[in-house]
Structure 1
Amino acid sequence: MEYEAVSDEEDDALSAWAQTGEENVEGTLRPRKLDEFVGQPRVREQLELVLESARRRGVPPDHVLLSGPPGLGKTSMAMIVAAELGAAIRITSGPALERAGDLAAMLSNLAAGDVLFIDEIHRIARPAEEMLYLAMEDFRVDVVVGKGPGATSIPLEIAPFTLVGATTRSGSLTGPLRDRFGFTGQMEFYTDAELELVVRRAATILDIPIDRDGCAEIAGRSRGTPRIANRLLRRVRDYAEVRADGKVTREIAQAALAVYDVDELGLDRLDRAVLTALTRSFGGGPVGISTLAVAVGEEATTVEEVCEPYLVRAGMLARTPRGRVATATAWEHLGMVPPADLPVRPDQGGPALFEQD
């Protein structure tokens, strides 16, 4: 899977992307079986039926596509598929498959029943993707030898396998590739109750003493994402060991997360800066994304891809045809009184200002 570089800034704590140096910890915390996996009950039930049916028939299951935001367990689910089938797993990523030859070499080394996991499969190069079509359908690849008019296509049989693809942008997948997956699982954000179970399980594995209230405090600030919950748990543990007796309680969790600028709703410094700029500098909006990014001293892509998804989901920011708008929830979270003429959503009797752009 892909890991992004990490700076020393505090707001890395709330990044849903895996960060460099977390490989070993994440590997330790990954569930090994479907019954150990917390959350995603719908996907787990559907996948259990697919795998059990394949086991009874003695054939590899249909190819599996897992889609959803980062940090929800797509890689863990892929590894569980292999474990449930008792098969080996080969792991790669879409950006790593730049040439068809790279994919052909990997496919030719698969044994019967193996699982091939391609993370961020929507970023696979077009030549490799076209080779993948034939491999997924007929378990065969055509290797081209030579160049120009003398080039020859040699068919190469490969062992039956199961492809598990993961994507954070299912809309970026081409139609022909998407249609070749027999099962598609849409991973959803976790509830606070599910995240409490995630935190408690991780604390048990990492031998971190924590009480129920401490679990709830961390879960409530984790943006519905297990990866963030596990990361916050480790940072709270560090605080508890250095400045307390080592046990994580609600009070210790609150104090620790205040140090890392994570507030009670899971907003960090940059999230609050965006909302503050919207409300104080632009009267709540609407304002363009470029102008908003300049106001907070960040790149427009950072604001749009890092901050906006959670702020929109939390009901604090709306993307409109005229620009970004702070909602009443955002004003109240900042301790400010919303303007009397603040527009409301159409389903609340207001104008159609909140239509997505």
Structure 2
Amino acid sequence: MADDFADGRNPAEPIDEAELAIEGALRPGSLGEFVGQPKVRGQLQLLLDAARIQNRPPDHILLAGPPGLGKTTLAMIVAHESERPLRLSSGPAIQHAGDLAALLSSLVPGEVLFIDEIHRMARSAEEMLYLAMEDFRIDIMVGKGAGATSIPLDLAPFTLVGATTRSGLLPNPLRDRFGFTGHLEFYEDSDLEKVIERSSRVLDVTMPEDARHEIARRSRGTPRIANRLLRRVRDYALVHGQHQGAATIEDVNAALELYDVDPIGLDRLDRAVLDTLVRRFRGGPVGLSTLAVAVGEEAETVESVVEPYLVRIGFLGRTPRGRVAMPEAYRHLGMPHPEVAALFDDL
């Protein structure tokens, strides 16, 4: 689930040129087109304007926040508005210092380097990155043992844009070398409706305001999910709708019911976690690994994909003894709930 594209497609599946064009069109091309995150947009605009006036690359930028809020899109906008080329990479792909050295040494002057999930880089690569970010230089070790020699290699000035969903895992020396850190927050429904309105024009599908609002409130505050649900509604309206190129509120409700998205945005896995926690473990507390095994998922998936939203809407709590179902979860499942306040006495 976490590795799917924004439209729900598996990365292994082929995609034609028309779909690629739509994928690109769904991403805003400038800060003016970017919806939501007003504070981060204002901070980035100032950073880019100052760099343009001084005719220098922008300072290094760290974008932190949950998946699907626009970190990659903002990196592309930084490159576009700076009129600089963009290089894309990811933390898991940089597992050795040599991988990073090859990447950095190939950058052209002023290039923007985007590293997604930067907290998952190898430690040896992180340590090399300290010097590269600060002095635009790296030291290459040649040979082994007593005969090893360090050869300095100058780099072209560049701007690093790092994205992370877990900023707490970044070592302080790396975090301190970013000139600006932007924290992205979940979107309000009103902003998501604007995202859906823009995306529906790109996808050439019309829908009334109540239909846009229904998609927005089931999108968990996340534009990526909003665009994915919009695509599924478009498909449903195309196959079952009465008007070509139009989707009604009835189409929205039918499509999202078909894809197991309930009225507050919970999907099959969310409900499985809640149901297991409440029925099998009597509301908890239960450890993360035990809960993950019970629903047949990896612990990392439950922790990074499911838990953030359930915690945010008050359905799940984290205590020193494990995960617990909150009263709102019982109400959503239509079950009476026990008193859970005592579980938090030792927090």
Give the alignment's TM-score, normalised by structure 1: 0.88
- Secondary structure (helix, strand or coil) at the match of 2:193 reads helix
Which residue is equivalent to 1:176? 173
Which residue is equivalent to 1:279? 278
Contact conserved, 1:71 with 1:227, CA < 8 A, in 2?
yes
- Between Structure 1 and Structure 2, how many residues are aligned? 339
Write out aligned runs for 1:36-185 (5 A).
Answer: 36-185=33-182
Q: 1:334 corresponds to which letter in structure 2?
A: L
Contact conserved, 2:319 with 2:343, CA < 8 A, in 1?
no
Question: Structure 1 residues 99 and 236, CA, compared in 2 at 3 Å: closer, same or farther?
Answer: same
Q: Give the Cα separation in 1 of the matches to 2:267 and 2:237.
A: 21
Report how far residue 352 of structure 1 moved: 5.9
Q: Give the Cα separation in 2 of the matches to 1:197 and 1:78.
A: 21
Report how far residue 295 of structure 1 moved: 4.1
Q: Give the Cα separation in 1 of the matches to 2:253 and 2:332.
A: 17
- Secondary structure (helix, strand or coil) at the match of 1:229 reads helix
- CA deviations on 1:42-88 (whole Å, 9 max, x unpaired) are 10001111110111111112100001111110000001001111100
Q: 2:344 aligns with which of 316, 331, 353?
A: 353
Question: Structure 1 residues 192 and 355, CA, compared in 2 at 3 Å: closer, same or farther?
Answer: farther
Q: Give the Cα separation in 1 of the matches to 2:108 and 2:304.
A: 39
Question: Structure 1 residues 150 and 227, CA, compared in 2 at 3 Å: closer, same or farther?
Answer: same
Q: Give the Cα separation in 2 of the matches to 1:18 and 1:202.
A: 21
Which residue is equivalent to 1:204? 201
RMSD: 2.4
Q: Give the Cα separation in 1 of the matches to 2:134 and 2:207.
A: 49
Unaligned runs of 5+ in 2: none
Which residue is equivalent to 2:192? 195
Question: Structure 1 residues 5 and 215, CA, compared in 2 at 3 Å: closer, same or farther?
Answer: closer
Runs of 4 or more off by more than 4 Å in structure 1?
A: 17-23
Report how far residue 299 of structure 1 moved: 4.2
Q: Give the Cα separation in 1 of the matches to 2:301 and 2:241.
A: 35
Question: Structure 1 residues 355 and 69, CA, compared in 2 at 3 Å: closer, same or farther?
Answer: farther
Which residue is equivalent to 1:348? none
Unaligned runs of 5+ in 1: 7-11, 345-350
Report how far residue 273 of structure 1 moved: 2.2
- CA deviations on 1:136-190 (whole Å, 9 max, x unpaired) are 1111122223333333222222111111111111011111111100100011111
Which residue is equivalent to 2:310? 311
- CA deviations on 1:301-333 (whole Å, 9 max, x unpaired) are 443333222111110111112332222211111
Question: Structure 1 residues 301 and 96, CA, compared in 2 at 3 Å: closer, same or farther?
Answer: closer
Give the alignment's TM-score, normalised by structure 2: 0.90
Contact conserved, 1:318 with 1:354, CA < 8 A, in 2?
no
Report how far residue 223 of structure 1 moved: 0.7
Q: 1:36 corresponds to which letter in structure 2?
A: E
